Each structure stands twice: as structure tokens, then as C-alpha cells.
Structure 1
Amino acid sequence: MTLAGLPKHAKSYWRDSSRIPSFPQLQEDLDVDVVIVGGGITGITAAYLLVHEGLKVALLEAGKLLNGTTGYTTAKITAQHGVIYDELIQNFGRSKARLYYEANRDALHWIKTIVDQNQIDCDFKIQDAYLYATTDPSAQRLEKEADAYQKLGIEGELVHRIPLAINIQNALVMKNQAQFHPLQYLTHLIQVITEKGGHIFEETTAVDVEDGKKPVVITRDGHRITANEVLACSHFPFYEGLGLFSTRLHADRSYIIAAKTNKPFPGGMYISADKPTRSLRAIKMNGEEMVLIAGDEHKTGQGKDTLEHFTALAQFGQKTLGLKEIRYRWSAQDLVTLDQVPYVGKINDSQPHILIATGYRKWGMSNGTAAALLLRDIVMGKKSVHQDLFAPSRFYAHPSLKSFLLENANVVGHLIKGKLELPKKKSEDLARDEGAFIFIDGHRKGAYRDEKGKLHLIDTTCTHIGCEVEWNRAERTWDCPCHGSRFSYTGEVLEGPAEKPLQQYDYTMLDILLSEDSGY
């Protein structure tokens, strides 16, 4: 399977198959009980929970609802998050490892209850989840993970065959997990939020918080929303306070193709314990069964040509199931904390009315729902058994210190590398639909020639801490290798922590500079 078999443009099936309502931009100051920033699964679920508590809620989304990580997921609802429980026992102890499992198990049960009670048509299905190993080292890790399941009372077992044409050493199954169409599910929650008087605003970017007994969220347009509680559910926290979360998180990207296969899919959800990751699950697309093949993750802005990741997934799909046609391709980005457990709760003790939720490590359907349930409890003054486990202010010397040092050394390395890297192309060398960085009068600039031949120029210095962004050919974006900020080819912010766009240059300036022999 080659690039020729891939759709030319990246597009999420979830978004393409959903009718998501649109909402106006905020045009005035507001006073509410709770303001929620971020229109993904956590923000929407939290708003749904809090309007049911009778609170006045405002939900702000910088772009369009469900156009972030939630709209680009594999949509597995499971407490099986890779090989995690043996590690959690080692780092947190048995009781907290069990709490992590229970939080995600309860999130699955909560989603199922909402779907059943409201008869939401979202293709919700109970499935067993398989974590499989193809090498001896990974098989040994799964044996330890199976022991962890037993210690924690998790329903599951070690098996030596799965119903796929993959030569495995062993596999660990977690029973009675689930999958669904996330946007059809969340669209129903959005409808309920508005029916119960919740306010939703799109194209409304929150940029700061004035702290106090009643904090005030300030938007880019200068509007002020006063609330008793602020919930930052915006993937990367739009407000860090003293938390310095950019030093405690890193961004990973992964890739997904949706394909019609020659072999029927046997049911279940699968993910490899080996790297590169391979993940599979089925979906229904206009009555036809399709298979989502995902994985090949890497740190954002780092690694090989991004289109090669899609090719690798297609080759795996061809070998495993045989591919008739690839209908969709897209990618997703999520954040990883120092100790693998999300940060959910008050940002710190000195700012108790500002809460965050982030770091789901690509398991946002369960983790994001669990986060919303915990945020609801905190807002309502209820003590939760999960509060200490997910507290953003926690810091465990092992493994957090080692991860902190490694991640920040990685940032420094890429900060220096980007400044020293030399261009390989000149602007006139760029074909249509090609991007690269070039030098203009000794300064690094990003250039992309679109399909109509127009040249788009930007400054490649990320507006977060000054790293140099890299060209992402698969999505036609500029991605930062330091903290995962992403920008469109015209410089607009697509993913934080950056808040300001890259500086743009009128492409006609290039002709002027070239005529002056400015050293391209």
C-alpha cells in the first residue's frame, strides 16, 4: 500500500458524519456560576453535569465544538490504557492504581447509562479489549500486567490467540469495555445543555484569568466572564497560573485510517503492547463495516515525514485484513503527564476556584468523562476518593523527576537544533502543495505553496517559548517540537499552548525581496 492509496486530504470520519450545532461568538460580559473553557468531551460532559445541578454555566470554545482531540479519536471507551497497571502499582501503590481503574470503569458505566436512558443513537457497543504482544519482552510485560489485574481485581485474563491474522506471543483481555460514535453521543449532551439554559459560545478564545474570590475569565476580544468556578478543559490548559504545565506535559501525535477490508472484522478492540503501536476497531459507515487502524505515535513536531505514518498503517492493514479502499485518514494529538496519570482538579492550593483537566494520554473517552465527573464533585463541594490521585499539584519523585529532566532536556535540544538547522530548499523550488523552511535575508521563514500556486510565508519561531516549528506534510501545518503547539500554513493557532499566531508575510513581499537579491 503506497501514498497513492491514501485520501489526498486529512478528514475525520466522526466530524464528517455528524451534524454538530453551531453557536455564536461571545459579544458581552457575563456573570455565571461556572465558566468552562474547552468544547471537547470533558467540557461538554462537565457542562451537562453542572446544568443538571441547577447551576448557570457558560461554555467557551476557541474554535468550533468538537474540533479538537475529541473529534479525532479512535473512540474506545475502556479502562485498558496500554500496559499501565503494573507501572501504577509500582509508582502509586495498589490502592491508587485501583482508584485509577475504578475512575475509568465508572466513566464507561456512566456513558452507558446516559446512552441507554436517553436512547442516544451513537453506535454504542460492548466489546472486549485486547492488549497483544508480538515480541518476548512485551509478552513478559503482559504477564506482569496480568498479575497486576489480579492484584487489583480487574476482570481479565491472559490468552495466547486473538481472532486476527497477527502472530502474537500472548494477549491480555479486559472484558466488557465499549466503543461508540463520540460526536453523535456528545451532540445529544449539547442539546440538553442548551435546553437547560446553559450558554455555549464558539470562536471565543479565553486568554487569561483574573484570580480572586470570584475569578474572571478574559477573552481575546476583551469580554469578561465572572464566575464562582473556572474549569480549564481546553486540551492544553489555557491558563497555567503557577503550575508551569508546559514543563510537565508533552504532546504526542498518532494516526488513523478508516478502511474497507477484504476480511471480515472479528469484533473486539485491539492495541499492541509493542512499538510502533497498532490499534484496531470496527465502525459502521453508511451501513458498511469499516475498520479503524491507528497508531504510529511520535512526539509532535519530531520524527519522519508525517505521511509515512499513514503509509505504515495502510501496510499493516493490508497484511492483517486486506484493504479494498481507504475512505478517511486523520491524526490526533494528546498530552502526556510526567507520571502517566491525568491532571484533574484545582490548579494549586492558592487558586482553589480555578480547575484544570488535561493529560489523558490518548484515552480521553474514559479519562475525559472521569475528569468531568470529578470536576462536578469538586464544584459541588463533594469529597471524591479520586481527588488526590488526579491532583495537578502532585509530584512523585519516581517517575516524575526523571520524566521532568528528560522532557525538558528534549525541549532544550530541539530549541537549539531548530536555530542551527539549514534550509534545503529555495522558495522557487517549491512545487504546488509543498512546504519547507527557507532563509530570507538570513532569517528562517516557513513557506508553503498551495494547490493554486500561491505562496504563504510565516515566521517559523513558535510564539510560545521560541522553538522553531517544523512542516507537517500530512496535515499541511507547522508543528512545534518543544511543547506541541500547531499552526495552520497561514500561521493561525490550531493547538496550544501557543496563544498568538505565527507572524505572516504577504507573499508579494517575496518577489520584492528576490528582486533585491536578498539571499534566498
Structure 2
Amino acid sequence: MAHNDRDRGNGQLPQSPEPYWREDIKLPAFPRLEEDLDVDIVIVGGGITGLTSAYLLVNEGFKVAVLEAGKILNGTTGHTTAKVTAQHGIIYDEFIQNIGKSRAKLYYEANTEAINFVKKMVNEHNIDCDWSTQDAYIYATTEHYARKLEREAKAYETLGIEGGLVDSIPFNIEIKNGLVMENQAQFHPLKYLAHLVQMIKDKGGRIFEETVAVNIKPGEHPVILTREGSRVSARYVLSCSHFPFYEGKGFYFARMHADRSYILAVKTKEKYPSGMYISAEDPVRSLRSVIINGEDRVLIGGESHKTGQGKETLEHYKALEAFADQVLGVEEILYRWSAQDLVTLDKLPFIGPLTNGQPNLLVATGFRKWGMTNGTAAALIFRDIVLGKSTPQQKLFTPSRFYLHPSLKNFLVENVDVASHLIKGKLEAPNRKIEDFSHDEGGIVTIKGQRKGAYKDKDGNVHIVDTTCTHLGCEVEWNDGDRTWDCPCHGSRFSITGEVIEGPAEKPLQHHDHNLLDNLTSEDSGY
């Protein structure tokens, strides 16, 4: 039984947001880097992109080091739905219209190559990771999206993608249209990647945890500076962290936005059919089967929204629970967790040189929640770049690209959205009182005329932080579903004590001692 069933709160939702994938997975612990290091390749980020890159490059004979700020496989990779597919929503018709048929086909081929690579690894190394070939479906419940799927089906035909339209799916959902992409897959990502970690170690690759890369000294042999004071020099630096830890002059924060989504692992009353499914309309609904403790269970995902924006986050979990009950019947919710990923202006990932003129500083980001294939594709592209091989995919994904449509329009829309949230946060005048908070509750308060964030933990202790994001000064909002402070402008996230969970912010929110409360009267507090 899931460990978080023990602290289940009111209702069916488990109280603690913990992903199933890390349950019962024994990953080795790695030391913090405490000395200077000289290697061929240094990789920042211990998710699927960084670890696949490390595996590929140690196999080519390179001396490789991986630096992970926390624990490996505990970021975006550890919170995925783990669909291994090139069906990334309704995108191929859009790509053909915006960037042309040849580039759209390159995107499909890069992701299909990634699927085939993972499948080959699983088969050649006998990796027990619940690998299962599945057809992937998009379904529409409105006439508008039914027509979009018709155009997408024509794009499949144009690009040579195996699949086509269907008129039903095996759920209690009345659809107007459906589109299948055949021979895709799903798996247990941490079982797969744990095997790669062992192979990296066996080949002499070095992995360091709790080692935060904070800056780069560029050059022919760039040097990574860590928060702990150690340095790593290398021929190539591969930035494989969720948000690039070093932007140079790439201005990545202005060319991407952060999206959150939510997942429930459910014991259902009805048996799950085969296939993986995702809705065409918002709010997104995603379904796939999963094996938990040897039993068939279901992952229900969706409710995508920009980080730090929208309704209270617990409502997203409740909406998924209602959907699961409607479609398959809910007997028990075993796990709940959330995920975050970055979306670029043109929906293509950034993979390649960080900025022009720095060919040995490489970055991979902006996977739009399809990191199992996009992250693997990035690792394959990195290998080719390091080996000096030129491929068409490198030009497609290069971060220096700029496709006039839709990049310009989306750039303007995104930055108007940022400006509106910046202004809104500064003008808000919260009137909540800390003494009114229940245990395990957080929110925005005013103390001495200043906007602060307060959280009262399960023991009644109060944690207070400044709510101004340390990245560019937007005001963070309370995320009640995950107990974090989230920035609505560029997606930075902070813990209840202000520590950075996800960038682009590098510095923590200021955390105030309990004495701040003791020295205030209700009149002083501005309540």
C-alpha cells in the first residue's frame, strides 16, 4: 500500500503529494562534490536528459561528471506520466502551417528515434521497467476540436505517421472524433533510468548530488562554479536542468512559460482497456494504465495551467477525481502529485548551443510535458554535437532559431501576461489574519503594511516569507495543493521556508523568524 495512505486527509485525496514512481525504487546515493574536477563533459541535471546524455557519452569513451542540485530523478522526470510517444497533442497540422512540412517531419522523426532508442535499451539490457507497447489516442468532445482532429489526421497522412481517425473510445465519454497514433509505449521511468545510472557508474562516469551549479566561466574549457565553492572544468557543458541554470544572453525566461499539471494514481472499479488517451479540449484529461504492487491501476492526469495562476490547486485534484469516478469509478486514490514543465514560444524544445558563439555550452529545455521522448532526443542530439556530427535535427531545435509565426505573436502575449501579473501582485491588499489560519494552511497576509506569505504547519508553527520573487520581482502565490510558493510570471517555485525548488530564481525568498510575530500587535500588523 502507498506510504502516503497513512496521512490521508478528509475525503479521498492522499494528504501528501508524492509520485508513485519513487516508491520502492532503490537509487544509490551520491556524494556532494567537494573538490575541483577536470573532465571532458560536465552535465548539470540528473533527469532523463542528463542521465541519458551521460550514458551515451561514457560509452563513447568520454570522462563525464553529472551535477544534480538535489537528488537524481526527483525533478520533472520523477513526476511524469511516462508516456513514451510522439503524439504530443494536436501539433503536426500546426507545425506544417507554421514551420513547414519538412521541419514537422523532423520533429516526428526525432521523437520516434527516441522511442526506438528506449525500446532498444530495454530489450538489449533486459531492463524490467514495465515497458508496454500501446496505441495513443487524442479524443474530441466538441465539433470545433473534431474538425481540428480531421486536419491533424491529414497531417499524419502527409508526414507518413501510422494512425487515423476513430469514432469511439472504450470509456463512458461521448466523443465527436478521435485520432490514433499506433505503436507508441509507456513504462516506469525510474526503473529504466536506475539501470542507466548503474551502467554510467560501471563505465566510470561520476555523479554528484546536492551540488548546485550557479555560474559558468565560458571559454575553450568552460568552468562551472558551484554554490559549495568547487569548480568543474570541461570541454563541454550540458545544461539539462529543468530551467537553464545559466542563461548567458539567451533570455530563456522571456521565451518560455511554466505550466503545471496534476496526476492521480487510482484503483478503479472498472477494468482499464488498452491504450493511452488525452483530450483535445481544455481542461486536459490524460489516461494510461500502470502496475502498482503487481495490480493494474490507472493514472489520471491533466488540469494544465500556468504556474502560480488560476484557482486553488487542490481544486485541480478534485476535478480529476470527479472525472476518474465518471469514467471508471473510483475505489481508492493511491497517490497524487503534480508536475511542471516549460513551453517555448513555438512549442519546439530548445536543444543545442546556449547562445551563438558558445558552441561548447549546450542546453536542453522546453519539453512541453513530453520529456520522455524530447529529453531522450536531446541526449541523442548532444552526443552528435560532441562527436562533431551535423544533423538536420540540430538546426530544427537550435535555441537561436526564430520562426516569425507564431514566435513573435506568442512573445508579445506571454510578456503582456507577465506584466499584468507583476502589476496585479503589487496592487493586491490582502486582509487575512495569521491567527485565523488552520493548521497546515497558508496564504498571503499583510504585516506592518508589507505583503508577506505565511504558512502554519501541522504543529502550529508559523513560517513567514517575503513574497517578492527573487528572479524579477513578481509576487508569488500560495499553492495549497503542494505547499509551495509559486511565481505566476516565470514559474519559479519556493518551499514553505523560501528555498528555491525550481528556477529561474536562484536566490531564496527571505524567511522571517517567529519573533517577527511576537513583536507585532494586531494594530501593527495592518489587519
- Provide the TM-score with structure 2 as the length reference: 0.97
Cα distance in 1 for residues equivalent to 2:110 and 2:409: 26
CA distance in 2, matches of 1:493, 1:139: 42
* Paired letter, 2:33: L
| C-alpha separation in 2, matches of 1:75 and 1:384 | 27
Secondary structure, aligned partner of 1:401: helix
Whichever residue aligns with residue 63 of structure 1, its letter is: G
Match of 1:267 in 2: 274
**Pick aligned residue for 1:27 from 7, 24, 34:** 34
Q: Are residue 129 (structure 1) and residue 136 (structure 2) matched? A: yes
CA contact (8 A) 1:270 1:281 kept: yes
1:17 deviates by 3.4
Rounded Cα–Cα distance in structure 2 between residues aligned with 1:473 and 1:295: 17
Return the offset for 1:516: 8.0
| 1:517 CA displacement | 3.1
Residue 176 of structure 1 aligns with which residue? 183
SS, match of residue 392 in structure 2: coil
Partner of 1:41: 48
Give distance in 2, aligned partners of 1:223 and 1:516.
Answer: 49
* Correspondence for 2:487: 480
Structure 1 residues 60-71: aligned runs within 5 Å = 60-71=67-78
> In the alignment, residue 490 of structure 2 is paired with which amino acid?
H
Residue 64 (structure 2) aligns with: 57
Task: Select 1:7's aligned residue among 6, 10, 14.
Answer: 14
> SS of the counterpart of 2:519?
helix
Deviations 1:297-339 (A, max 9, x none): 0000000000000000000000000010000000000000000
SS in 1 for 2:102: helix
AA aligned opposite 1:333: Q
1:323 matched to 2:330? The reply is: yes
- Equivalent runs, 1:335-484 vs 2, <5 Å: 335-484=342-491
Task: List gaps (5 residues or longer) in structure 1.
Answer: none
CA distance in 2, matches of 1:76, 1:423: 41
**Distance in 1 (alpha carbons) for counterparts of 2:337 and 2:245:** 25
Do the aligned residues in 2 keep the contact of 1:338 with 1:403 (CA within 8 Å)? yes
Cα distance between partner residues in 1 of 2:18 and 2:381 = 32
Q: Aligned-pair distance for 1:243?
A: 0.5
Q: 1:347 to 1:114 in 2, by over 3 A?
A: same
> In the TM superposition, what is the alpha-carbon distance from 1:344 to its structure 2 partner?
0.0
Alignment of 1:272-351 (within 5 A): 272-351=279-358
Between the aligned partners of 1:48 and 1:507, the Cα distance in structure 2 is 47
From 502, 513, 518, give the equivalent of 1:511: 518
| Whole-Å separation in 1 of the counterparts to 2:29 and 2:427 | 44
**Structural RMSD (CA):** 1.0
Partner of 2:332: helix, strand, or coil?
A: strand
Aligned-partner Cα distance in 1 for 2:521–2:61: 63
Q: Secondary structure at the match of 1:497?
A: coil
Paired residue total: 519
Q: Runs of 4+ in structure 1 displaced over 2 angstroms?
A: 513-520
Shift of 1:439: 1.1
Encode CA deviations 1:405-428: one digit per residue, 9 max, x unaligned. 000111111111111111131111
- Measured against aligned partners, the alpha-carbon deviations of 1:93-139 in whole angstroms (never above 9, x if no partner) come to 10110000000001000000000000001000000000111100010
Alpha-carbon distance between aligned partners in 2 of 1:488 and 1:16, rounded to the nearest angstrom: 22
Give the counterpart letter for 1:36 in structure 2. I
Look up the SS of the partner of 1:5 in the other structure: coil
Match of 2:178, as an amino acid? Answer: A
Q: How does 1:249-264 map to 2 (within 5 A)?
A: 249-264=256-271
8 Å contact 1:238–1:497 — kept in the other structure? yes
Mapped partners of 1:389, 1:376: distance in 2: 16
Please give the per-residue CA displacement for 1:162-187, whole angstroms capped at 9, x wherever unaligned. Answer: 11221001110000000000000000
The residue aligned with 1:205 is 212
Equivalent residues of 1:334, 1:360 under 8 A apart:
yes
Are residues 1:243 and 2:256 paired?
A: no
> C-alpha separation between the residues in 2 aligned to 1:192 and 1:27?
24
C-alpha deviation, 1:431, in angstroms: 1.1
Q: Is contact 1:51–1:197 with CA below 8 Å preserved after alignment?
A: yes
Task: Name the CA distance, whole Å, in 1 between partners of 2:293 and 2:12.
Answer: 21
Report the counterpart of residue 110 of structure 2 in structure 1: 103
SS of equivalent residue, structure 1 residue 513:
coil
SS of match in other structure, 1:339: coil
CA contact (8 A) 2:64 2:205 kept: yes
Q: Please say if residues 447 and 524 of structure 2, whose CA atoms lie closer than 8 Å, have aligned partners that are also in contact.
A: no
What is the letter of the counterpart of residue 64 of structure 2? V
Q: TM-score, normalization: structure 1?
A: 0.99
State the Cα distance separating 1:161 from its structure 2 match: 1.1
CA distance in 1, matches of 2:234, 2:319: 48
Are the aligned partners of 2:431 and 2:446 in contact in 1 as well (CA < 8 Å)? no
Deviation at 1:519, TM superposition (A): 2.9
**In the alignment, what sits opposite 1:142?**
149
CA offsets, 1:191-245, max 9 Å, x none? 1111111110001010110011111110012211000000000010001011000
Q: Amino acid of the residue matched to residue 330 of structure 1?
A: W
Question: Are 2:267 and 2:330, in contact at CA under 8 Å, matched by a contact in 1?
Answer: yes
Distance across 2 between alignment mates of 1:484 and 1:518 = 29
Distance 2:523 2:176 in 1: 64
Work out which of the residue numbers 495, 500, 503 in structure 2 matches 1:496: 503
Task: Give the aligned residue type for 2:166.
Answer: V
Matches of 2:461 and 2:285 in 1, distance apart?
Answer: 38
Amino acid at match of 2:420: G
- In 2, Cα distance between equivalents of 1:78 and 1:170: 20
In the alignment, structure 2 segments of 5+ residues that lack a partner are: 1-8
CA positional deviation for 1:349: 2.0
CA distance in 2, matches of 1:517, 1:504: 19
Q: Contact (CA 8 Å) 1:3, 1:311: kept in 2 or not? A: no
The answer for the alignment partner of 1:74 in structure 2 is 81
Amino acid of the residue matched to residue 495 of structure 1? E
| Contact persistence 1:345–1:390 (CA under 8 A) | yes
Tell me what 2:6 maps to: none
Letter in 2 for 1:7: P
Q: How many percent of aligned residue pairs carry the same amino acid?
A: 64
